[in-house]
């Protein structure tokens, strides 16, 4: 019901994050409903009645305090369980980085994105690099590794459909990775205030099916025709056989 509002998920680690969100909503939701329910019940049940007298329950003895401490311990244990579940997802998304099919350098600047592709030789700083603004074109089913820097202020690479957000600090090179599963056009937004036109800093993540991607590659590197980095087509795991 609540999670119905989540946008479409097209990233491999998306389901992990969605499952952590689902777990949290269930655990936290029940605790919330129980607490508010008890509050509402007490407010209705114990209204002032003529000649009525409140009970003297100061909560000094351990037996009385148990009524509060036990629910707290339960809530604490559930929180720890959530965190243990979330730890593996955090490490998957932020700490490990699977072997990249393609590494792209990203430079965020005030009010735009700049992507640098290494070109067929797979190395940066070589003449065959391709620099594109606003559009990041990748192949579906390929692990993309982003090396992100900023040219001026703090920006943040955010694609809701990839469930990925990573702030970019000027002066540091920050890695991030994702693997899109479905071809399509997804909007890249900046989610850290970076100036008066922060809201207009939109980029487009174009995920192509492997065939279309080959065509795009051959358009931009006509003479060599080989895929970028390790040749993208062959290294593609079978998973992404689905057409866009």
Partner 1 sequence: MEQTDFSASDSLKTWGLLVVLLLIGVLTVALGLPRSLALWVIFCVAAAQAYVIGRYYMRLRSEDVLIYTLALLPVVTVIVLAFVLSPDVAMHR
Partner 2 sequence: MAETTLEAAHSSEAHEKMGFWRAYLFSVDHKVIGKQYLFLGLFMGFVGVFLSYVFRWQLAWPGSSVPLWGKVTAPQYYEVVTMHGTIMVFFVAMPVLLGAFGNFLIPLMVGARDMAFPRLNMASFWTIFVGSVLLLISFFVPGGGSHAGWTNYVPLSDASKYLPGNYWGGNLWLIALAIDFASVLMGGINFLTTAIAMRAPGMTIWRMPLLVWQELVASVLFMLSVGPLIAGVVMLLCDRMVGTGFFLPEKGADPLLWQHLFWFFGHPEVYVVAMPGLGIVQEILPVFSRKPIFGYRMIVWAVIVAGILSFTVWAHHMFVSGMNPVLAEPFSVTTIAISIPFAVMLFAMIATLWRGQITFSTPMLFALGALANFILGGVTGIPLGTNASDIYLHDTYFVIAHFHNTLVPTAIIAGFGGIYYWFPKMFGRMMNETLGKIHFIFTWVGFNMVFIPLFLIGIGGGQRRIYMSSVYTYYKPLQPLHVIATIGLLIIIAGQIPFLINFFMSMFRGAKAPANPWNATTLEWATDSPPPHENFHTIPTVVRGPYDYSLPGMQQDWAPQAASVQAGAAQG
Which residues, numbered 189-228, are part of the site for partner 2 (CB under 8 A)?
A: 189, 191-200, 202
36 binding partner 1? (CB under 8 A): no
CB of 175 to partner 1, least distance (A): 9
3-state SS track over 69-107: HHHHHHHHHHHHHHHHHHHHHHHHHHHCCCCCCEEEEEE
105 binding partner 2? (CB under 8 A): no
Closest to 108 (Cα-Cα) out of 163, 158, 58, 59: 158
Which residues, numbered 6-25, are part of the site for partner 2 (CB under 8 A)?
A: 6-7, 16-17, 20-21, 24-25
Q: Which of 173, 187, 211, 243 binds partner 1 (CB under 8 A)?
A: 173
CB under 5 to 8 A by kind: which of partner 2, partner 1, none does 160 bind? partner 2
The per-residue b/e assignment along 125-149, b for 16 or more CB within 10 angstroms, e otherwise, is eeebeeeeeeebbbbbbbbbbbbbb
Closest to 206 (Cα-Cα) out of 188, 229, 232: 188
CA within 13 Å, CB half, 212: 16
Q: Which of 137, 139, 166, 181 binds partner 2 (CB under 8 A)?
A: 166
CA angle 217, 223, 226 (to 5 degrees): 50
172 binding partner 1? (CB under 8 A): yes
What x/- string results for residues 122 through 161 when contact with partner 1 is judged by CB under 8 A? ----------------------------------------
First to last CA, the chain: 28
The owner of tokens 């992507």 is 115
The residues facing 130 across adjacent strands are: 117
2 binding partner 2? (CB under 8 A): yes
CB of 217 to partner 2, least distance (A): 27
38 binding partner 2? (CB under 8 A): yes
Q: Which of 135, 187, 241, 243 binds partner 2 (CB under 8 A)?
A: 187
* Residues near partner 1, by CB under 8 A: 172-174
């Amino acid at each position: 019901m609540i999670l119905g509002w989540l946008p479409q998920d097209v990233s491999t680690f998306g389901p992990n994050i969605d499952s952590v969100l689902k777990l949290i909503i269930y655990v936290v939701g029940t605790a919330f409903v129980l607490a508010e329910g008890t509050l509402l019940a007490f407010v209705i049940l114990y209204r002032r009645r003529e000649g009525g007298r409140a009970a003297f329950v100061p909560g000094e003895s351990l037996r009385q305090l148990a009524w509060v401490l036990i629910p707290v311990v339960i809530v604490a244990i559930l929180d720890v369980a959530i965190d243990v579940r979330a730890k593996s997802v955090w490490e998957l998304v932020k700490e490990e980085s699977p072997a990249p099919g393609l590494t792209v350098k990203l430079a965020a600047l005030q009010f735009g994105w700049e992507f640098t592709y290494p070109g067929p030789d797979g190395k940066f700083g070589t003449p065959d690099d391709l620099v594109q603004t606003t559009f990041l074109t990748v192949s579906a089913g390929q692990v993309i590794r982003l090396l992100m820097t900023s040219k001026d202020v703090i920006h943040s690479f955010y694609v809701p459909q990839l469930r990925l957000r990573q702030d970019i600090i000027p002066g540091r090179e920050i890695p991030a990775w994702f693997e899109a599963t479905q071809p399509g056009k997804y909007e890249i937004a900046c989610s850290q205030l970076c100036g008066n036109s922060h809201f207009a800093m939109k980029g487009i993540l174009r995920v192509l099916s492997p065939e279309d991607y080959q065509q795009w590659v051959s358009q931009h590197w006509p003479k060599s025709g080989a895929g970028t980095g390790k040749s993208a087509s062959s290294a593609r795991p079978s998973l992404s056989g689905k057409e866009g």
